[in-house]
Amino acid sequence: MHRSLHYLFHTRNHTFIVLHLVLQGMVYTEYTWEVFGYCQELEFSLYYLLLPYLLLVVNLFSFTLTCVTNPGIITKANELLFLHVYEFDEVMFPKNVRCSTCALRKPARSKHCSVCNWCVHRFDHHCVWVNNCIGAWNIRYFLIYLLTLTASAATVAIVSTTFLIHLVVMSDLYQETYVDDLGHLHVMDTVFLIQYLFLTFPRIVFMLGFVVVLSFLLGGYLCFALYLAATNQTTNEWYRGDWAWCQRCPLVAWPPSAEPQVHRNIHSHGLRRNLQEIFLPAFPCHGRKKQE
């Protein structure tokens, strides 16, 4: 078990990429096989039904770019150029620090990824779903991937829910009655209605439950990722800054000699410039011009 977990989460492998594509394929197969056909029979708008496929195309394109794009790997060739991209804050990112593994000077906002075994410029996190680090050069693709994945899950959920509600209304199921095990007559309630729909359309209801849960999970993470982008923070910086706040917590007793330094986000320059930095990242050639 330990070896399996280490292989899945601490080594570069394609397991989660395959799992991602399988789950996405299963959802869209069920959507195409049943929901799309039923909705066409009920004369739903074709543009409405084709929207999940449009989102799928954009999602797979951005997913591929996130997987294959260099996140900003720091090497001896570009080490000096990266050192001039961001300012050192001397708290979270002090000057003249070398990576103990790569033996390279660490530019501000960089971090060594233990999974990929390289240092990444503006390191955000390592994502097992794309088998790659998320850094300065592929964070834009990752945000588009996350946005379209959330939107596609939500769209499939909305179309499927609309179909089931339309079906219930057309057949007047909510006005029906049923007899329980004790022989008592009851008006159709929500629980019984869901049970009836599950027995009638088990795959659609199961898929709907999956994409609804997925939509909420992805939506929450998307909001967090957009917050980081708007404030020009990385996940690594947010986590380390939160830990620095814990060090200043009065409920924690720290030695007098170990006075924690206050971390301040010096890289946020307004919403427009922060988003511009995400979607128009600085490349080494920019750094060379700045150095000259």
Active site members: 127
Strands (E), the chain: 111-113, 118-120, 125-127, 132-134, 177-179, 185-187
Structure tokens that stand for 218 in this block: 């992805």
**Cβ within 8 Å of residue 74, ≥6 positions away:** 82, 102, 104, 107, 110, 118, 119, 120, 121
Closest CA to 275 of 139, 145, 149: 139
User: How many residues does the structure list for the chain?
Assistant: 292
Distance of alpha carbon 59 from alpha carbon 214, whole angstroms? 15
DSSP for residue 32 = I
